[in-house]
Structure 1
């Protein structure tokens, strides 16, 4: 773990909000990390697709850190922000936070950086449209 201080509130645009359900649990009864990672991937893909105005594909996930468990009933919020645009690629930072309990306490649970490549209809990389 890094000694870099983490923000006390979510950074970036809210891109996904869902509720953790019993079907999403692992053998210990906690939410499966792969399910949470897929929610983050979907959220980052929304940012990449809107930016590139084309199909996109995930090519890398870096620095994935699971900080706290997610429980059934937690409201999961994925926040994303663009870090970098390359010629055909986009790097997007994603944070997953949960709202937990009756008071809706916010807790950061996971973070990672997702890299996408804009692709054409044949699946070949093509330049990202820039506004």
Structure 2
């Protein structure tokens, strides 16, 4: 977990998040990824960010009701108005012998754009870039 970035969201998967097969709906997980990435992006663009691209998310493991879903976000690159973030998703699940398992589920690369309240692109402050090592 060392290179996964910082934890941004931790939530319990609930029955209302399921698909017809009874597993947690992939779209719900994608929305958690988008939220976690936006939280990270707002550290350098505090007014507002919008999602402009979402690279593929390959689901390696299912997520079940009761799993604790964690989203870790790491800023990869900051441009003039854009922020590229990698979000990794894991779940904590109890095994049959009551051990807590940490299972990688998926990851995605998401790009956000800094915008003002009217939705116009807004240049990211150089001091905030430096503060985050960019």
TM-score by length of 2: 0.88
Are the counterparts in 2 of residues 10 and 97 from structure 1 also a CA contact under 8 Å? Answer: no
Aligned-CA RMSD value: 1.3
1:82 aligns with 2:67: no
1:117 aligns with 2:113: yes
Number of residue-to-residue matches in the alignment: 124
| d(CA) in 2 for partners of 1:35, 1:67 | 16
**Would you tell me which structure has more strand in proportion to its own residues?**
1
| d(CA) in 2 for partners of 1:48, 1:122 | 18
| d(CA) in 1 for partners of 2:4, 2:100 | 18
2:42 alignment partner, SS class: helix
Structure 2, unaligned runs of 5 or more = 129-134
Structure 1, unaligned runs of 5 or more = 1-7
1:64 alignment partner, SS class: coil
Counterparts of 1:18-37 in structure 2 under 5 Å? 18-37=11-30
Query: Which range moved further: 59-68 or 79-88?
Result: 59-68
